[in-house]
Amino acid sequence: MKRSLKRLAALMLAAALCLGLGATALAAEDGADPRALFEQGMMYLNADNAAAAVGPMTQAAEAGLAEAQFCLGSMYFYGDGVEKDAARALELYQQAADQGLASAIYAVGFLYVEGLGVEQDLDRGLELMTAAAEQGFADAQSTLGTIYFYGECGVEQDYAQALEWLRKAAKQGAPGGQEAVGEYYEEGYGVVDVDYAEAAAWYEKAAAQGHIEAAYRLGRLYDLGWGVEQDGDRAEELYTQAYEAITALGDEADGVQRLILAEIYRGGRIVERDMDKALELYAASIEEGNPKAPGVLGSLYFFGDGVEQDMEKALELFQEGAERNDRDALSWLGYMYVTGTGVEQDQEKAFGFFRQSAEQGALYSQSWLGYMYVTGTGTERDYGLARHWYEIAAAAGDVSALTNLAEMYENGEGMDVDMDMARELYEKAAALGGEEARMRLGALGE
């Protein structure tokens, strides 16, 4: 999931399709109506001839056609057929926005958020993006959802609010929204129960529209057999889809895409394994600001996977990921401090890192947090909170949480002894491969 203003050339086409324009343009003569000029400009844009589109699109924009003003603004924003000029783009977007065109309202909001062609004003930018989203503009809904997800642009991180906007975009068929909703069901994020089948269904929709991250994530589900029948061939097909799309982007690939490419080169599944190339891409992803990249690279140094094991480097990367509020990096820091691996053991620090991560829906951290509450490690013992965190992780199928929660029922820790519930939880954990749960069932007479 990432925040980005989609390339506005794509929005031009979307605007044209929403207006019901045909694939062919009218022959525009002098004095032709603005719609005919706009359609002629669109014909040239669709034919990758932006220079020829400038004339008719300018005439249509000057005649006051909002869609033409928006499209011409996009041409100035990207320098398509004209010299790149963010200030001129803003002027044209504003003209279209004043006529109520949602895509233009969104574009003006984006420029204010980024400070492009105008002094940065986050409040004004978010106000405009929200207005466009409330009009039902899917790109604005996707962007707002991602802003709330990461807590960017001066707003507090709010997974529930993020999901609300992303669902709206997804229901309109926006691939970014579909991928993001799928990610929610894969990861949980403390808002929805993990449901791999539901995640796969959303990824399938987005991948069919060419969404790169959705294709990669769906490939991983097929590889693991999570929510879908395990299918290595289908996984490789999806990995290849993602790989080819990213390599086609070249230097325009963003931090999320570079991380995917790094994983592909490290895995060596569909290309020859190349750790030098992978490390280069991990570094580029970190430089691009991808919050997940430091934690992923840190884990390689932690295990010595493809690189020489280096706990100091791993710690440094996990700390960088934690500064970006990445839940996996926070989990890693919690583990290092609770076990004293590569650092001086500090249970209170570990508890703090696990809590931050658990609140973002990380099952591993939720299970650890339950353990720390039940044992009074790094915090005061609290059976109620231990049960709370174990139940959340257990509901998502975490084997450790299921096993530890069963022990609480078996031993009556903070609750009445309930052997039936203990047995049920042990059985669930054992069915998921939990060896300790299987042993406990044996001790109970199963």
What's the pLDDT tens digit per position in 237-287? 999 999 999 999 999 999 999 999 999 999 999 999 999 999 999 999 999
Predicted confidence at residue 126, as pLDDT, reads 95
Query: DSSP per residue over 202-259, as a string?
Result: HHHHHHHTT-HHHHHHHHHHHHHTSSS---HHHHHHHHHHHHHHHHHHGGG--HHHHH
Predicted confidence at residue 153, as pLDDT, reads 86
Helices (H), 268-381: 275-287, 293-303, 311-323, 327-339, 347-358, 363-375
Predicted confidence at residue 152, as pLDDT, reads 85
Predicted confidence at residue 10, as pLDDT, reads 42
Of the CA atoms within 13 Å of residue 337, those in its CB half-sphere come to 23
Q: Is the pLDDT of residue 25 over 80?
A: no
Task: Determine the Cα–Cα distance for residues 116 and 73; give it in Å rounded to an integer.
Answer: 13
Predicted confidence at residue 20, as pLDDT, reads 38
Per-residue confidence at 2, pLDDT binned at 50, 70, 90? low
291 contacts: CB under 8 Å, gap ≥ 6: 150, 321, 324, 325, 326
> What value does the mean pLDDT take over residues 103-130?
95
* Sign of torsion over alpha carbons 410, 413, 414, 416: positive
> What value does the mean pLDDT take over residues 354-358?
96
* Sign of torsion over alpha carbons 243, 172, 225, 429: positive
Mean pLDDT score across all residues of the chain: 91
Rounded to a whole number of angstroms, the CA Rg of the chain reads 26
Task: Determine the Cα–Cα distance for residues 39 and 23; give it in Å rounded to an integer.
Answer: 9
Q: How many residues does the chain have?
A: 446
- Give, as one character, the DSSP assignment of residue 6: P
End-to-end Cα separation, the chain, in angstroms: 45
Task: Determine the Cα–Cα distance for residues 236 and 240; give it in Å rounded to an integer.
Answer: 6
Q: How far, CA to CA in Å, does 219 sit from each of 170, 318, 363, 416? A: 20, 26, 22, 45
Query: b vs e for 373-385, b when ≥16 Cβ sit within 10 Å of the residue's Cβ?
Result: bbeeebbeeeeeb
Task: Determine the Cα–Cα distance for residues 362 and 331; give it in Å rounded to an integer.
Answer: 8
The domains located in the chain, with CATH, are 1-139 (1.25.40.10), 291-360 (1.25.40.10), 369-446 (1.25.40.10)
Q: How far, CA to CA in Å, does 434 sit from each of 145, 229, 353? A: 37, 22, 26
Of 185, 141, 186, the closest CA to residue 162 belongs to: 141
Predicted confidence at residue 446, as pLDDT, reads 54
99-103, 125-129, 152-156: lowest mean pLDDT where?
Answer: 152-156
pLDDT in tens, 312-332: 999 999 999 999 999 999 999
Centroid of chain to Cα 319: 21
- Give, as one character, the DSSP assignment of residue 323: H
pLDDT in tens, 33-89: 899 999 999 999 999 999 999 999 999 999 999 999 999 999 999 999 999 999 999
Q: How far, CA to CA in Å, does 260 sit from each of 180, 220, 225, 282, 419? A: 16, 11, 20, 9, 46
Yes or no: say if 259 and 290 are a contact pair by the CB < 8 Å rule.
Answer: yes
Q: What is the pTM of this model?
A: 0.82
Task: Determine the Cα–Cα distance for residues 146 and 254; give it in Å rounded to an integer.
Answer: 15
